[in-house]
């Protein structure tokens, strides 16, 4: 049985472009995409337009939802919000549990969100590096199995992209995947094994970040 799991990191975020945004933001740990981030998300959508993707899952953080929404518009698919793909809830980055918009608030902004979907894996603040990898890895395995043999797209963050891939292909993901902004990972199931085909591809982007930032 064949199946393809696509994993994408969100596009560029506003606080990477304008760090001062954080100082006055209502939800400082939940930045939206930057102007060029919206362009990157559209380029990702164009790249995936002809792929036979049946389901889109996204972290509930705004930047991931906005990235997923660009793809969902092109593919004409709903978005399922999955907390298992969330940002690494790292207390060294976040002094408190990050505030995000509720599912209802996000659905009001992005009507493609499937409000009937219930997340399969929880993310709990605070968490360690090992915990985020295990959490996102379990998420990828769970969704791949539940929606098999259909192809799915997971939209997350630097740590959850690597962790999700690790859940399917093992430790090799940590050394081979370059999780830059709006990158694309492709993992193919050919029973009984998973194969890593794209390791953080950014060939669909017109501009690629030189320094990979996770925070």
Q: pLDDT tens-digit profile of 57-98?
A: 999 999 999 999 999 999 999 999 999 999 999 999 999 999
On whether the CB atoms of residues 196 and 175 are closer than 8 A, the answer is: no
Crossing angle of helices 129-146 and 158-169, in 10° steps, is 60
What are 22-38's pLDDT values in tens digits?
Answer: 999 999 999 999 999 99
* pLDDT score at 162: 96
Instruction: Report which secondary-structure segment, H or E, holds 215.
Output: none
Spans of the chain below 50 pLDDT: none
Q: Residue 146, Cα to own-chain centre: how many angstroms?
A: 18
Could you give the domains of the chain? Answer: 2-181 (3.40.50.1240)
Residue 213 confidence (pLDDT): 60
- Bridge partners of 198, per DSSP, are 186
Peptide bond into 126 cis (omega under 30): yes
Instruction: Give the number of residues written for the chain.
Output: 215
Q: What is the pLDDT of residue 212?
A: 59
Asked if 45 and 53 touch (Cβ cutoff 8 Å), the reply is no
Residue 185 pLDDT: 98
DSSP-derived secondary structure for 85-118: GPPP--TTT-SSPPP---HHHHHHH-TTB-TT--
**Tokens coding 126:** 């605070």
pLDDT for res 192 = 86
């Amino acid at each position: 049985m064949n199946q393809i799991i696509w994993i994408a990191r969100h596009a560029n975020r506003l606080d990477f472009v304008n760090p001062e945004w954080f100082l006055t933001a209502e939800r400082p740990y939940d930045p939206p995409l930057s102007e060029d981030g919206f362009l990157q998300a559209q380029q990702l959508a164009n790249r995936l337009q002809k792929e036979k993707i049946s389901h889109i899952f996204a972290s509930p953080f705004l930047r991931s939802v906005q990235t997923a929404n660009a793809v969902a518009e092109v593919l004409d698919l709903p978005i399922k919000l999955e907390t298992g793909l969330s940002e690494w809830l790292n207390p060294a980055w976040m002094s408190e549990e990050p505030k995000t918009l509720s599912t209802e608030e996000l659905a009001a902004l992005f009507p493609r969100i499937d409000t009937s979907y219930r997340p399969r894996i929880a993310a709990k603040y605070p968490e360690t590096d090992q915990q985020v990898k295990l959490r996102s890895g379990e998420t990828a395995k769970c969704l791949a199995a539940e929606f098999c043999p259909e192809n799915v797209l997971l939209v997350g963050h630097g740590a959850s992209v690597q962790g999700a891939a690790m859940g399917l292909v093992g430790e090799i993901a940590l050394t081979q995947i370059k999780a830059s902004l709006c990158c694309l990972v492709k993992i193919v199931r050919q029973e009984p094994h998973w194969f890593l085909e794209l390791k953080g591809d950014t060939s669909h982007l017109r501009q690629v970040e030189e320094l990979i930032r996770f925070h």
